[in-house]
Amino acid sequence: MEESMKSCQSQCEMRQPHSRCMENTRVALWETLRQVLDRHDRMNIWLKGLAGVGKMSIAFTIAEEMKLTQRLAASFFFSCQHAQHATMFIPTIAYQLALVFPSIKDAIMKAITEDELLLSSGKSHCDQMQELIIKPLHPVQFHKEMSYAIIIDALDECFSTEEEARLVKLLTESFLGPDLPNIHLLFTSRPQLHIHAAMQTDIHEIPLITGNDATLRDVRVFLWVSLDNIRKTRLDHFGRRQCLGIRA
Ligand SMILES: Nc1ncnc2c1ncn2[C@@H]1O[C@H](COP(=O)(O)OP(=O)(O)OP(=O)(O)O)[C@@H](O)[C@H]1O
Ligand SMILES: [Mg+2]
């Protein structure tokens, strides 16, 4: 059974690396995200924006940054092209949590042994959350000065609107217990009303919009760097003139 959790985790990893934000873009956003993720409360973050606005790239870049400082508790990137993996969402999060907090591993294994249907798609997210995550985390003492993140991208790609709302409600209320580690949830999705309505806690909403000064600056950076890369790979054609440099 541990194997099926592991295999879903490796399938998720095989779909990586996702696209990352180019260096020197989204500068103001990183500042905001780091400030919230450093807080010692449970403030969650909702990055909302229309298709193609860059939600996944931001989620993946911040997940990699949190991983470097051992503060990434878990991450999951939903994809409608791999919708079958969505059924293993909670078990995959539990598996990753057990890698970060090894003392919960035995309790997770016990839960799976006692209920052999626990990992099946027939089990509700709610039951899986209780048995695989919340109960195993409860008895453990955590450093309250450490704050972690669980990053969930494209929450609205694989489920019906009712399921999405139930999942958001479940996630935002499950990590509130005083004995649990400080975990910030960071969700991304399109700006859907039912997702907003389902959130059970105060949430830091970050709308991703296009057409503002910051986005125009990022597009300029992107073009300068991309064109300069072409120049560097075609020295025969463009000669050895000085690098263009970024003029943001
Ligand atoms: N800061 C950035 N630097 C470089 N490339 C970026 C940046 N932001 C977005 N992109 C590029 O824009 C494209 C769309 O980004 P992404 O897939 O992250 O958007 P999305 O909001 O998740 O889209 P969807 O809603 O369709 O899932 C990708 O090719 C990505 O590489
Ligand atoms: Mg996306």
pLDDT in tens, 115-159: 989 998 889 999 999 999 999 998 888 877 889 999 999 999 888
Whether 221 is in the pocket of ligand 1, judged by its Cβ within 6 Å, is no
Question: What is the model's pLDDT at position 61?
Answer: 95
Angle, helices 55-68/27-38, rounded to nearest 10 degrees = 50
**231 pLDDT more than 70:** yes
H helices of the chain, where?
Answer: 2-14, 27-38, 55-68, 89-100, 105-114, 125-128, 135-137, 161-174, 193-198, 213-233, 235-238
User: Best substitution site from 48, 56, 187, 223 to test ligand 1's pocket, by max atoms within 8 Å of Cβ?
Assistant: 56
pLDDT band at 206 (very low <50, low <70, confident <90, very high): very high
Whether 57 is in the pocket of ligand 1, judged by its Cβ within 6 Å, is yes
Question: What is the model's pLDDT at position 44?
Answer: 95
Q: What is the mean pLDDT of residues 9-25?
A: 75
pLDDT band at 245 (very low <50, low <70, confident <90, very high): low
pLDDT band at 11 (very low <50, low <70, confident <90, very high): low
pLDDT band at 6 (very low <50, low <70, confident <90, very high): low
How far, in Å, from the CA of 196 to the mean position of ligand 2?
A: 18
Question: What is the model's pLDDT at position 178?
Answer: 81
Q: Atom 11 of ligand 1 has which residue's CA nearest to it? A: 54
Whether 71 is in the pocket of ligand 1, judged by its Cβ within 6 Å, is no
Lowest mean pLDDT among 56-65, 184-193, 217-226: 217-226
**163 pLDDT more than 80:** yes
**244 pLDDT more than 80:** no
Query: Cβ neighbours of residue 177 under 8 Å, at least 6 residues apart?
Result: 134, 138
**103 pLDDT more than 80:** yes
Q: What H or E segment, with its residue span, contains residue 187? A: strand 182-189
Percent of the chain with pLDDT over 70: 89
For domain 2-209, give the CATH superfamily.
P-loop containing nucleotide triphosphate hydrolases (3.40.50.300)
Q: What does the alpha-carbon distance between residue 191 and residue 195 come to, in Å, rounded to a whole number?
A: 8
pLDDT tens, residue by residue, 51-93:
999 999 999 999 999 999 999 999 999 988 877 788 889 999 9
Q: Atom 16 of ligand 1 has which residue's CA nearest to it? A: 54
Q: What H or E segment, with its residue span, contains residue 153? A: strand 147-153
How far, in Å, from the CA of 82 to the mean position of ligand 1?
A: 18
Q: What does the alpha-carbon distance between residue 227 and residue 81 come to, in Å, rounded to a whole number?
A: 32
Question: What is the model's pLDDT at position 106?
Answer: 94
Q: Which residue ranges make up each domain of the chain?
A: 2-209, 210-248
Q: What is the mean pLDDT of residues 218-232?
A: 89
Average pLDDT, the chain: 88
pLDDT tens, residue by residue, 18-48:
789 999 898 999 999 999 999 988 899 999 9
CB 32 within 8 A of CB 186: no
Whether 26 is in the pocket of ligand 1, judged by its Cβ within 6 Å, is yes
Whether 49 is in the pocket of ligand 1, judged by its Cβ within 6 Å, is yes
Question: What is the model's pLDDT at position 83?
Answer: 76
How far, in Å, from the CA of 54 to the mean position of ligand 1?
A: 3
Closest ligand 1 atom, residue 61 Cα: 1
Closest ligand 1 atom, residue 58 Cα: 18
